[in-house]
Amino acid sequence: MSDLRPGETLFALHDVEVRFGHVPALRGATLSIGAGERVALIGANGSGKSTLLRLLHGLVPHASGAMLQRAPRSRQAMLFQRPHMLRASVATNVALALWLRGGGWRAARQAALEALGRVGMTELAARNARTLSGGQQQRLALARAWVLHPEVLLLDEPTASLDPTAKREVEALIAEAAAGRTLIFASHNLGQVKRLATRVVYLEQGRVVADLPVHDFFHGPLPEAAHLFVKGELA
Ligand SMILES: Nc1ncnc2c1ncn2[C@@H]1O[C@H](COP(=O)(O)OP(=O)(O)OP(=O)(O)O)[C@@H](O)[C@H]1O
């Protein structure tokens, strides 16, 4: 599925800073991510998780530092906590994502229906997407990403606003969609981090404070702030 060798560097950030006006959202961020990794971004509200995802997806520029990106943006897909739905049918919402990349409408629609089948939404294909529940919208967003066959999936708290059943369903789909791809996701759900990630990057006030394999993050010594955060989240 991927043209990149497992482990080959996809993103390399060196001393990167992102600012919104006077607000530094990322400060001195240095990290590299290889093909096939499953990286969880965690940290308190405002610590820079979304900003890092947006930077990797080319949605915000960096003010200083260096960033190398190997996968073409066209091979990346990003899911947001509250995905944007066009005022159109579920099938059209998915087909448009593919059609916008070029190719015929008929093929795009066919691929959209297949992707909707993968996320269990065949029966909702004709529904107005804006009338879907949060969980259904998130599944649609996954189908929309799926049709693009991305190498890299970037997810910003994809299950944060869902009920426990929808959370489980969407998480299972994410695990399936991530097979053979690189997954980078922000989450406040540490159980989900343990289930989906192989590596944890902990951010604090825009800085990368810990960057560890998932087992070491949850079982090894941590910087004090990260330790308190994990204890608090698990309490
Ligand atoms: N568009 C923006 N304009 C101004 N400031 C912003 C903007 N986006 C983010 N910020 C600021 O950048 C910092 C990092 O925000 P970011 O959304 O990346 O954090 P986060 O870790 O994703 O938070 P949360 O867990 O609440 O989603 C915060 O101080 C935030 O207020």
Q: Is 165 in the pocket of ligand 1 (CB under 6 A)?
A: no
**Which residue among 16, 19, 23, 60 has the greatest number of ligand 1 atoms within 8 angstroms of its CB, and so is best to mutate?**
23
48 CB within 6 A, ligand 1: yes
- Pick the residue whose CA is nearest to atom 31 on ligand 1: 46
Which atom of ligand 1 approaches the CA of 21 most closely?
4
Output the CA 201–ligand 1 centroid distance in Å.
17
Q: Taking a C-beta distance cutoff of 8 angstroms, is the pair 138, 80 a contact?
A: no
Rounded to whole angstroms, the maximal C-alpha distance in the chain is 56
Give the relative orientation of helices 90-99 and 134-146 as an angle to the nearest 10 degrees.
30
- Closest residue by Cα to residue 23 from 67, 66, 60: 60
Say if ligand 1 is within 6 A of residue 20 CB: yes
What domains, with CATH codes, occur in the chain?
9-234 (3.40.50.300)
* C-alpha 81 to ligand 1 mean position (Å): 14
Return mean pLDDT, the chain. Answer: 91
Structure tokens at 79: 């899911």
Given this model, what pLDDT does residue 2 score? 53
pLDDT-based confidence at residue 224 (cuts at 50, 70, 90): confident
Q: Is the pTM of this model over 0.90?
A: yes
Kindly report, residue by residue over 192-205, the tens digit of the pLDDT. Answer: 999 999 999 999 99
Give the model's pLDDT for residue 1: 47
d(CA 61, CA 19) in angstroms, rounded, equals 9
**Confidence grade of residue 221 (pLDDT, cut at 50, 70, 90):** confident
- Binned at pLDDT 50, 70 and 90, residue 235 comes out as low
Q: What is the pLDDT of residues 160-189, one digit of tens each?
A: 878 888 889 889 989 988 998 999 999 999
Of residues 56, 57, 59, the one with CA closest to residue 29: 56
Work out the pLDDT band at 143, boundaries 50, 70, 90.
Answer: very high
Q: Label residue 46 exposed, middle or buried (CB < 10 Å: 0-12, 13-18, 19+).
A: middle
Find the 202 Cα to ligand 1 centroid distance in Å: 15
The whole-number pLDDT of residue 167 equals: 87
Q: How far, in Å, from the CA of 157 to the mean position of ligand 1?
A: 13
